[in-house]
Structure 1
Amino acid sequence: MALPSESDDSTPFRPGVWRVGLLVAYWLVLLTATHWPKEIELGVPVTSYDKVQHLVAFGTLAWLLAWCMYANQRFTLRRAAAVVAIVALYGLFDEVTQPWFNRTFDPFDLVADVIGAAIGLGVYAVCERRWGCDQL
């Protein structure tokens, strides 16, 4: 069985498919990372960048979500609010379910998630205006 070549029109390249695949893969990694049971506390103080990790992780999630949902549409404030709402609801789900996996609920993590989503959308808006989403 031969693999399709780049010039084969029977299997057109659809960027939306791999964008969604990337979003789903990232979301699954994020879900796993935030629900992995904590290691036993050693009693040694460790510098934690937990809130920075939340900002980056949920900012990336918001960027990918906007890229998948609105890649060929004008990005508006209403659409940005929809992405922030989805990410905030996921952040709430994430925090509420963490105690089931020997993790702790932290409302400040949820705040960091929403701020990260807003930052991620700001980066998305700049990229979209600069290059257009179909070029990303």
Structure 2
Amino acid sequence: MQEKIIELRKLKLLFVEDEDDLINIITDTLNKLEANFLTAQNGQEALEIIEANDDLDAVITDINMPILNGLEMIQILKEKKPDLPIIVMSAHTEIEYIDKAKEFGVKDYLLKPFDFMKFIELITSMELKKDVT
């Protein structure tokens, strides 16, 4: 797992999540892992961050959020940056949203509650624009 964490540190990630408790857990854990990441609380904020950060390796997003939800953000993002990998975080009850995200080209998803071990395995196994090996 230490090798995976070293690979994770080479990436720049954006987490889009409106639940303060979850974003606090993600932030605390990623800080402990010394990961390079940004956070946004809705799709609109995420699009602004993505526009200002050309070096992002992946976006990990919730679906149900205020202002601009995850599906709307994904649709816009796929038009502007079709090669930027997106991972959807979703609850078990939101499978129809995952299916819709797949229609927009999203290949990977994580079910809530957020599992960091599964996340690290997934993000370090994805083919990202940077070589993480």
Measured against the shorter chain, the TM-score band is under 0.3
Q: Could you say which structure has the higher helix fraction?
A: 1
Highest relative contact order (Cα 8 Å, sep 6+), 1 or 2?
1
Q: Which has the larger radius of gyration?
A: 1
TM-score by length of 1: 0.25
Q: Could you say which structure has the higher strand fraction?
A: 2
